[in-house]
Structure 1
Amino acid sequence: GPKLFVSELQLRNEELRASHEEVTSINEELQSTNEELETSKEELQSLNEELTTVNAQLQTKVLEHEAITNDLGSLLLSTDIAVVFLDREFKIRRYTPAVRELFDLIPTDAGRPLANLARKFVDDDLMKDASSVLERLVPLEREITSENGRWYLRRLLPYRTVSNQIDGVVITFIDLTTSKRAERRLAEKARLLDLSGDAIVVCDLQRRVAFWNRGATRQFGFKSDEAMGRPLLELLQNEAFQPPAGLEARSGTDPVVSEVTHVTKDGRKQIALCRWALERDAEGKPLSFLLSSTDVTEQRSDSEALRFGQEQLRMLVDGARDYAMVLLDPDGIITAWNVGAERVLGYREAEAVGQSIGLIFTPED
């Protein structure tokens, strides 16, 4: 009856209430899940942005690495310096084209031990020095000669990675042939200049001594090692031994000549005949000052004595009025004609001096 109906309604109501609570619980779980999904979405979005940034940075690094690789490749291909990169076992990692002048190399030799390659130069210490550099991390260098007579400076250095790790050895061969030949030419010139009795001095444009031969040592008293690199004025303490003003502006090649009196290192008074010239390069730019100095002290002393003697003789001739006295030079030209000669021979001094003696005296005379 009615009680049963009410009981069923209550039961259904409780079931509905239970169902509602379950639905509410599920809804709350769904809402919580949705919030978690939203959070995950935001995290994924943030992570995606970070990945995009990292990817862009990596792309930039790749481009930079490619540029560096291209630059290094171009440098290795274009340089005239022979460079060999070796790993820790002294196997060839890479090399520049100029290395083929020194080793019998082909592209497939990469990875081969350097010791197995035929060389075109004499260097018995190469592998020993390579081991020493790898062990001690101290660069080593030697001068070597190739089979075709060229000179090289062979230098060994540790190969360092970006992280400063030692990962092998680098060998460079710098061609010294031109400088060696120039050194030999300079040495030969210096030897010839040392044979000169004159003082030969070369100064740079700052007036510092760049060359000092043995003649300069004899004349001025300073040895080469005392003079080299010092300002010439400081060394000789005489303004007269400075390149003449305006020498750099001169267009001609004739030297500027002057006579200088000075005191040597050991206190001797000396007279020097100085000749200054300017050395220029192929483009006409001044390179250095050249001084050639001749000690003329003795000659000047002799000349002064001769002049004094001639003057004394002239005074004697002029004073001898009762005798005809005539002076001749080695060519028979009259150089002095006294009053006695005018009276005895009938020619005035102005008529006789400068004339040949043959014009005045006949062979019979």
Structure 2
Amino acid sequence: MRYLHHLVLSISTCVILLKTTSIPCFAAEKIIFRYGVFEESLPVADLRKYAQKGEVSSSLQFVLKFFSLSEQKEFHQALQVKMPLELAALDKLLNTELAKENLSVVSQGIARRDSAGVQALNAAVILGANSQEGLGIISFLEAYPSQRLVINIPAVLKIASKLNIFSNEIPPKDNLSSTSLWQISVQYQEFVTEGKEFSACLFGDSVTAELGKTLGKGTFNFALDGLSGISLVEQLKLLIPNKIKCEKAVIAIGGNDAWYGLSDTLFANKLQESISLVQKLGSHQIFLIPAFYSTVAASVDPRISATNYRVKQINKVMNQVAVKNQIPFEISEVESLNQNDALKDNFSSEDGAHLNNQGINIYRQALLKILGK
């Protein structure tokens, strides 16, 4: 499967799969949730309609009733995520021992009649990434080479525990660098940016990650979900040996630091270390973006975010670090998103801790203005 994506560009997918694997050439039409002797099917087309139009079929309604309202919102939001990935870097990633090991573990949660589970996942990732919309849950499913994708629920729960996907801690702790998902994400970044020079680099958490590649050619977005000062330091330590150059850099963290319960001292130390590491990337200009507030409703729910009072304290510490290092703290550029130290409801996503499309556009314009200085 190593060079599958090269072949995808020149000949039909079905011919490739028939020649390179023993996997039947189908796209997944149904997801089958299996729990012991019980099964429930969900057409993939229903998921796409739900993602695009919010329409809930009877089959999807049966599945959603096992979710709380907040979990339903998170699920709908997850369906919107589409990652434009570079196939050459993805090819390298899928051939690392880390990726192979994780695909092998994940394949144990999918019931198949053959032993081609890993190859099937590999193909779905590559073909999904090669789709027009990029890799997402739906493009992955539509590229999975079987008409039925049978998910063994008990096995999946064990896998999630093994891969540290779910945390029962409220609020959670920053253990990102020890998780497989984080390690794979950073390794992909290493492959795709090795030896390259960028006019600007973004380092931040999920709010900045939502911008994707929308800041133009020459800018690379290194932001990762859940990032705090602790995991940013670890990310930078892995990126620096790859001889990446960033003329300008934006550091946009703090919200998760507040949520994870980092002390002012620890946050200040990690932010200072991050600035020093970013300078090793050749950045002549570094801009700090304040931690993002949540809506009033979200800020009182420890399952979603830190309190806005704590975010405000974190921003004071960030401002002190900025003054010490004589670098801009660009609070005025994003202030229009907030009101009375809280994210405005009309700029908030469904969970109250992220930006909706309008909010993302305001943040994008603010960054373009900052980077133009």
* Higher RCO structure, 1 or 2 (CA under 8 Å, sep 6+): 2
TM-score scaled to structure 2, two decimals? 0.21
TM-score scaled to structure 1, two decimals? 0.21
Flag the structure with higher strand content. 1
Q: Greater Rg, structure 1 or structure 2?
A: 1
